Structure 1
Amino acid sequence: MPSAASDPLYLCLDQGGHASRTLVFDHRGVLQASDLCEVAVREPHPDWVEQDPEELVASLQAVITKAITSLGARAGQIRCAGIATQRSSMVCWDRHTGEALSPVISWQDRRAHDWLHQFSAQSRAIHQRTGLVLSPHYGASKMRWCLDYLPDVAAARREGRLAMGPLASFLLFRLLEEKPLVADPANAARTLLWSLHTMDWDPWLLELFGIPAEVLPRCVPTRHAFGMLCANEHRIPLTVASGDQSAALFALGMPSADTAYVNIGTGAFIQRAVSQPPDTPGLLSSVVYRDADRTLYVLEGTVNGAGVALRWAEQEWGLKDVEAQLPAWLARSGDIPLFLNGIAGLGAPFWEADFPSCLIGDGEPWQKTCAVVESIVFLLQANLETMQKMAPALKRLLVTGGLAQLDGLCRRLADLSGLPVYRPAEHEATARGTAYLLAGFPENWPEEKPGFSFAPKPNPGLTRRYKDWRAEMNHVTRN
């Protein structure tokens, strides 16, 4: 239903691993306009994953222009804008000119995992301060690598021109009229340099990793007067900045403590709202929103190899049209081998950056691909079992993201977890959650269309494969 002429609209920017999107929602959470631009990912060396920062800026500028143009006269109803980006991706730039001095080093990048080993004795203290584990996926080792190996970055630091930090900070600097040098909590928290307790850069962590405080953005809340976004002769205040997974948590409104929220895209992430950051071994504690009145936390597990694992399988096994064939493959019956999934590094609750992926058993292409999908489900279940130790008991799972459109994946997740799985009809959870935050936590945030529910059913074959998979994982990991 089109919005009335006087109703507010909310412009949401979603910069993800493979695309930049702009989506415009009305005050009821109904999508009014959107545009998408795919972006490239390059892997110049093993464990290296990069993107072109200038391409990301240009892609966002293009989709903003197209989405606003499609609204016509209604573009004047846009009240404010927000941005959600890939967390843990880092970039360096010139604080005077805005020129990028490094590639965007992706959250998937693990080039500095050997360097991090020297801090193993401090891993417990790091977890207590940051809510994170000691991992090359987070920003500290990426930033230290840039300081040590990129001459342009070293020169900019000597000359007082260097800025470095989360991708969100770089994009805000480049897109907004005021050129702010700031970092929101969800993205700052993914650097291994930010304290959950002070909500600011931690001096002990900065010294530990050798990151100079003066090159980092200023820490601000999620809701903040970031600056003005200028497009199509419109000046739109940008008032919310967050991470993709943090924003996705709010896609259907305020998160419930009895629900685990699963977002499955390039990676898969499972989050549970908590009142205070718990110290749970193997899982992460994160700030997902902060303003002058409230701070909201989650307990989080991560599966690095979701969509990226399927792309790996296509290349490694010479498969074609996997995405188109997966729904039918997942519906077939037959033996499925086990896949130990360390694509992009083994995440929670195991945490091994250089874990070697392997297929146990063999089969036709459909069987091997189903094994990769089941490995995603198994890793989510391993996180869920760790999360279930907390009270109150979970009552359901809510799944979003591109891979959540696979009925066979959702069905397996429900059967294995023993919990009903609900999949909303609206796919763009990150952008819709951003719109909810922009609208100021409205009480009425209904779904335009009902989603689909998967009730758990007995699945002895899946349960047996999961038990065998856990035994294999326990054998080859340190946990």
Structure 2
Amino acid sequence: MTDQKYILSIDQGTTSTRAIIFDHAGQIVSSGQQEHEQIFPKSGWVEHDPLEIWRNTRAVVADALQQAEINRHQLAAVGITNQRETAVVWDKNTGEPVYNAIVWQDTRTQKICDRLGGDEGADKYKERVGLPLATYFSGPKIAWILENVEGARERAEQGELLFGNTDAWLVWNMTGGTDGGVHVTDVTNASRTMLMNIDTLDWNEEIAADMGVPMSMLPQIKSSSEVYGYGRKQGLLIDTPIAGILGDQQAATFGQACFEIGMGKNTYGTGNFMLVNTGEDLVRSENGLLTTVAYKIGENKQVYALEGSVAVTGSLVQWIRDNLGLIKDAPEIEDLATQVDDNGGLFVVPAFSGLFAPHWRSDARGVMVGMTRFHNKNHIARAVLEATAFQSREVLDAAIADAASEGVELTELKVDGGMVKNETLMQFQADILGVPVVRPKVIETTALGAAYAAGIAVGYWDGEQDVIDNWAEDKRWEPQMDEETRDRYMRLWRKAVERTLDWVDDDTEALFG
């Protein structure tokens, strides 16, 4: 055993929880991973078991430490990154969740959003929080739990219940739980609740009151890089500083070293998330994007970003695998797609949870259009991959339109996440964007970003320059498609998107819930 120190990053994602240990060069030393159950009680409902997530977190930390052959004494700090808008409400006296975690993809809160918007509509709170009223965000999910779980509102009003995205749930448990657990979140997670003032970075009491959320439920808002507390209940990490929290997409932005205005990244995971750094000044979107906090390092001023969120990309491949049985393993999708030269006029728009950015249409549902007897599973596979690229192009177009007044121009796109291993997808992404797509050597940039935030807080790394110095390019895809072909593809894609709209109505609600 050496005296070398490492950083542990816990990446609590939508489908799994991972623990990854990084060295000072930002390289992966070891990792552990466990999937958790995806719970679908009704159409449009998506839940996770918070206790399963906590159990899995302890297990993957143990796996990573064992694989690296180190113990907690060789960890300088722990960083946490997480699925952001997934809401957990639990009893602070027992540590028991009052209901399953309601996942960011869940659409059950549409009527609550409609009620809150009233005559003012979806933009009622946007000036204050940077977000439209949508089922995506945490606030309405808390409201649903308090309105639908027996006794929850009374317990909340008595100060017995706590709320957090999964970062707050893990930190509270890791730092003691019912025995003095620290109830905190960071600015990036708080900016996804619809409850935080985007300019002053504090909770908005008026909006919380509109949603019926007692202020006592909300965690204290901290920066993304500081010591929040020390491991206690998690014996493997006892006395280890918990020193970094970043929502998953902001963590990837940080890990990709997107520190200059105009730098952007796209993460390919369960969904796709493109963030473009807009600096210390707020840029309010006029084109369907979100204004969000990118990161805040200690006492430094916060940095903002424009974000385009696409609900279904990697999870579309999972659906092809699990629901349709066209493939046995996710990588097989590329093998099928490469059997044909193009999609043959078949387009898949995966509006499983409605359409997120830049459309924000909760009434949309998924479609497969252009089908003829000519098409086979290879065309479907290719259309599935291309759907990810088309949706990302829509988001990039919106970001460019919003940032044009700031003189921001995207000349290349940094990419990360599991799907960037798919070379067919990456080439088509470059083709349909018309700009180079660049993959880093370490594609686990979400976990890496949280590690950097934690390491900077304890002096393991000096600051952003160390992140820049560690970043290295692995592969670059240059556009090969001519502009006329690109425009024709996008026109057909937009026509396919139109077919998804206005599907959810009173009849679908009555028949299918």
Shared fold (TM-score greater than 0.5)?
Answer: yes
Task: Name the residue aligned to 1:443.
Answer: 465
Which whole-Å CA distance do the structure 1 matches of 2:320 and 2:236 have between them?
42
SS of the aligned residue for 1:393 comes to coil
Task: Name the residue aligned to 1:358.
Answer: 367
Which whole-Å CA distance do the structure 2 matches of 1:356 and 1:100 have between them?
31
Query: Does structure 1 retain, via aligned residues, the 8 Å contact 2:265–2:276?
Result: yes
Query: Which one of the candidate residues 222, 225, 250 is aligned to 2:224?
Result: 222
SS of the aligned residue for 1:262 comes to strand
Task: Name the residue aligned to 1:197.
Answer: 199
Which whole-Å CA distance do the structure 1 matches of 2:497 and 2:258 have between them?
35
Task: Name the residue aligned to 1:283.
Answer: 289
How many Å apart are 1:442 and its aligned residue? Answer: 4.7
Which whole-Å CA distance do the structure 1 matches of 2:421 and 2:39 have between them?
26
Letter in 1 for 2:226: H
How many Å apart are 1:315 and its aligned residue? Answer: 4.8
Q: Matched residues, percent identical? A: 26
Deviation larger for 72-81 or 401-410: 72-81
Which whole-Å CA distance do the structure 1 matches of 2:212 and 2:151 have between them?
18
Task: Name the residue aligned to 1:337.
Answer: 346
Query: Does structure 1 retain, via aligned residues, the 8 Å contact 2:440–2:471?
Result: no
How many Å apart are 1:30 and its aligned residue? Answer: 1.5
> Equivalences for 1:70-469 in 2 at 5 Å?
70-73=67-70, 75-120=72-117, 121-177=120-176, 178-230=180-232, 231-232=235-236, 234-275=238-279, 276-281=281-286, 282-290=288-296, 291-315=298-322, 317-321=324-328, 323-331=330-338, 332-334=340-342, 335-362=344-371, 363-389=375-401, 390=403, 391-440=407-456, 441-445=463-467, 446-447=469-470, 450-459=473-482, 461=485, 463-469=487-493
Deviation larger for 415-424 or 438-447: 438-447
Letter in 2 for 1:237: P
Which whole-Å CA distance do the structure 2 matches of 1:140 and 1:233 have between them?
31
Alignment CA distance shift 1:352-1:122 (3 Å): closer
Which whole-Å CA distance do the structure 2 matches of 1:448 and 1:203 have between them?
41
SS of the aligned residue for 2:69 comes to helix
Alignment CA distance shift 1:84-1:320 (3 Å): same
How many Å apart are 1:450 and its aligned residue? Answer: 4.2
Deviation larger for 450-459 or 238-247: 450-459
Query: Does structure 1 retain, via aligned residues, the 8 Å contact 2:265–2:275?
Result: yes
Cα displacement string for residues 148-186 of structure 1 (whole angstroms, at most 9, x for unaligned residues): 111152352254311123221111111113401122111
Task: Name the residue aligned to 2:509.
Answer: none
Which whole-Å CA distance do the structure 2 matches of 1:450 and 1:381 have between them?
22
How many Å apart are 1:214 and its aligned residue? Answer: 1.8
SS of the aligned residue for 2:29 comes to strand
SS of the aligned residue for 1:43 comes to coil
SS of the aligned residue for 1:274 comes to strand
Letter in 2 for 1:245: Q
In the superposition, the TM-score normalised over structure 2's length comes to: 0.88
How many Å apart are 1:473 and its aligned residue? Answer: 2.8
Which whole-Å CA distance do the structure 2 matches of 1:255 and 1:448 have between them?
12
Cα displacement string for residues 354-384 of structure 1 (whole angstroms, at most 9, x for unaligned residues): 3121111222112112212212211110110
Query: Does structure 2 retain, via aligned residues, the 8 Å contact 1:305–1:345?
Result: no
Q: Which runs of 4+ in 1 moved over 6 A?
A: none
Aligned alpha-carbon RMSD (Å): 2.1
Query: Does structure 2 retain, via aligned residues, the 8 Å contact 1:339–1:358?
Result: yes
Alignment CA distance shift 1:59-1:315 (3 Å): closer
SS of the aligned residue for 2:191 comes to helix
Cα displacement string for residues 57-77 of structure 1 (whole angstroms, at most 9, x for unaligned residues): 000011112222333356422
Which whole-Å CA distance do the structure 2 matches of 1:323 and 1:351 have between them?
28
Query: Does structure 2 retain, via aligned residues, the 8 Å contact 1:98–1:173?
Result: no
Query: Does structure 2 retain, via aligned residues, the 8 Å contact 1:336–1:370?
Result: no
How many Å apart are 1:232 and its aligned residue? Answer: 3.0
Cα displacement string for residues 230-252 of structure 1 (whole angstroms, at most 9, x for unaligned residues): 43374201011121111111223
Give the number of aligned pairs: 475
Alignment CA distance shift 1:307-1:475 (3 Å): closer
Deviation larger for 239-248 or 323-332: 323-332
SS of the aligned residue for 2:254 comes to coil
Which stretches in structure 2 are left out of the alignment for 5+ residues? Answer: 457-462, 503-513
Query: Does structure 1 retain, via aligned residues, the 8 Å contact 2:313–2:388?
Result: yes
Alignment CA distance shift 1:122-1:201 (3 Å): farther
Which whole-Å CA distance do the structure 2 matches of 1:208 and 1:270 have between them?
30
In the superposition, the TM-score normalised over structure 1's length comes to: 0.94
Alignment CA distance shift 1:143-1:234 (3 Å): closer
Query: Does structure 1 retain, via aligned residues, the 8 Å contact 2:256–2:414?
Result: no
Which whole-Å CA distance do the structure 2 matches of 1:225 and 1:415 have between them?
44
Letter in 2 for 1:211: V
Which stretches in structure 1 are left out of the alignment for 5+ residues? Answer: none
How many Å apart are 1:449 and its aligned residue? Answer: 6.4
Cα displacement string for residues 78-131 of structure 1 (whole angstroms, at most 9, x for unaligned residues): 111111110000011111222211111101111111221123315334111111
The reply to whether residue 473 of structure 1 matches residue 481 of structure 2 is no
Letter in 2 for 1:265: G
